[in-house]
Amino acid sequence: MANFYRYQAYGNDILVIDPAEFPMSITPPIARLLCDRHFGLGADGICYGPLGAGPPFSMRFINPDGSDAEKSGNGLRVFARYLWDKRYVKEHHFPLAIGEEISYASILDEKARSIRIGMGRISFLSDDIPATGETREMLNETLEVNGEQYTFTAANIGNPHCLIFGQKADKEIVQRYGPLIEYHPMFPKRINVHFVDVLDEHHIRMAIWERGAGYTLASGSSASAAAGAAVRLGYCRNPVNVHMDGGTVQVTIDEDWQITLTGTVEPIASGQLAPDFIEHLRNMR
């Protein structure tokens, strides 16, 4: 038995692999093949869990390149929907975790289509990103890429984000500059990169480059970071509706800079891997 479950959140297509229904652990080579859109199932990432006895039920979120993500807003919401669908949880409000960090999910309708998740506290401190140089809030700083200067703000919401306001937020630009900034020496652990347009005081639009995944249609942690930065810089007021290529989520920021993300999750399919493919995976370990 090797079951998989596919969900999508604004075009972020995510696999859920439950260890209770899968015959092997997910190593980086196995994750890369499962996420491959030609030779595997294809996905923007994998929720691997629940791990251990809950509650709270925990998971790993694994990027398409096989690396583990510290945080995934859409991954957390997909995992919450899976826990609800499989009746691991029965209350509408419950804890869940990536690693040791606990978040709280709320199921907002009887079909569990709309889900709110607590994303934690946003930080703009360089030590939290992390970034080189003296300790400071990384607001409206400058970096050089291919001879061009960009003004950016950096934030951490469990994972690091470089947010460039005032530039056109489109796929072509983020695909061109995202990988260059992701590996910029200022960010020793690499960084997610986003171009952000401020539409009005409650609406922004962003294009997303995810560390370990590349260009994606949507990202919950990226939306959270962009909204928090827009409020911190005085561009927006709470709440902030974040428009991405895959759809729109709502982000709220409280007085202590705690972030809450609300959006939809939809199940797409479930199935079993073919025996030959399972054998291929076993041989990769």
Together in a domain, 160 and 251: yes
Together in a domain, 134 and 63: no
Q: In the prediction, which pLDDT does 100 show?
A: 80
CATH code assigned at 59: 3.10.310.10
Structural domain contains residue 261: no
Name every residue whose Cβ is closer than 8 Å to that of residue 14 and which is 6 or more positions away in sequence. Answer: 6, 7, 8, 43, 44, 45, 46, 47, 74, 75, 78
Q: Per-residue pLDDT for 73 more than 80?
A: yes
Rounded to an integer, what distance in angstroms lies between the CA atom of residue 150 and that of residue 166?
A: 10
Together in a domain, 230 and 277: no
Rounded to an integer, what distance in angstroms lies between the CA atom of residue 136 and that of residue 128?
A: 10
**Mutual orientation of helices 73-85 and 220-232 as an angle, nearest 10°?**
130
Together in a domain, 96 and 184: no
Together in a domain, 189 and 82: no
Look up residue 41 and give its amino acid: L
Pairing relation of β-strands 114-121 and 141-145?
unpaired
Give the chain's domain count: 2
Structural domain contains residue 88: yes
Structural domain contains residue 107: yes
Q: What is the mean pLDDT of the chain?
A: 95
Q: In the prediction, which pLDDT does 120 show?
A: 94
pLDDT tens per residue, range 220-242: 999 999 999 999 999 999 999 99
Name every residue whose Cβ is closer than 8 Å to that of residue 174 and which is 6 or more positions away in sequence. Answer: 193, 194, 195, 207, 208, 209, 215
Together in a domain, 28 and 140: no
Structural domain contains residue 16: yes
Together in a domain, 131 and 251: yes
Look up residue 149 and give its amino acid: Q
Together in a domain, 130 and 240: yes
Q: Is the previous residue joined to 275 through a cis bond, with omega within 30 degrees of 0?
A: no
Together in a domain, 33 and 136: no
Q: In the prediction, which pLDDT does 179 show?
A: 95
Structural domain contains residue 61: yes
Together in a domain, 83 and 135: no
Domain containing 192 equals 121-256
Together in a domain, 200 and 144: yes
* Average pLDDT of span 94-100: 90
Q: In the prediction, which pLDDT does 212 show?
A: 86
Rounded to an integer, what distance in angstroms lies between the CA atom of residue 178 and that of residue 206?
A: 13
* Average pLDDT of span 16-39: 96
Q: In the prediction, which pLDDT does 168 show?
A: 87
pLDDT tens per residue, range 132-154: 999 999 999 999 998 889 999 99
Structural domain contains residue 145: yes
Q: In the prediction, which pLDDT does 285 show?
A: 66
Q: In the prediction, which pLDDT does 266 show?
A: 97
Give the tokens for residue 116. 């709110």
Rounded to an integer, what distance in angstroms lies between the CA atom of residue 19 and that of residue 60?
A: 11
Q: Kindly state the percentage of the chain with pLDDT values over 90.
A: 91
154 vs 72, 83, 130, 166, CA distance in Å?
17, 33, 9, 15
Contact 34, 40 (CB under 8 A): yes
243 vs 131, 198, 246, 253, 267, CA distance in Å?
28, 10, 8, 17, 22
Pairing relation of β-strands 12-17 and 45-51?
parallel
pLDDT tens per residue, range 159-208: 999 999 998 899 999 999 999 999 999 999 999 999 999 999 999 999 99
Together in a domain, 137 and 236: yes
Beta pairing partners, 196: 165, 206
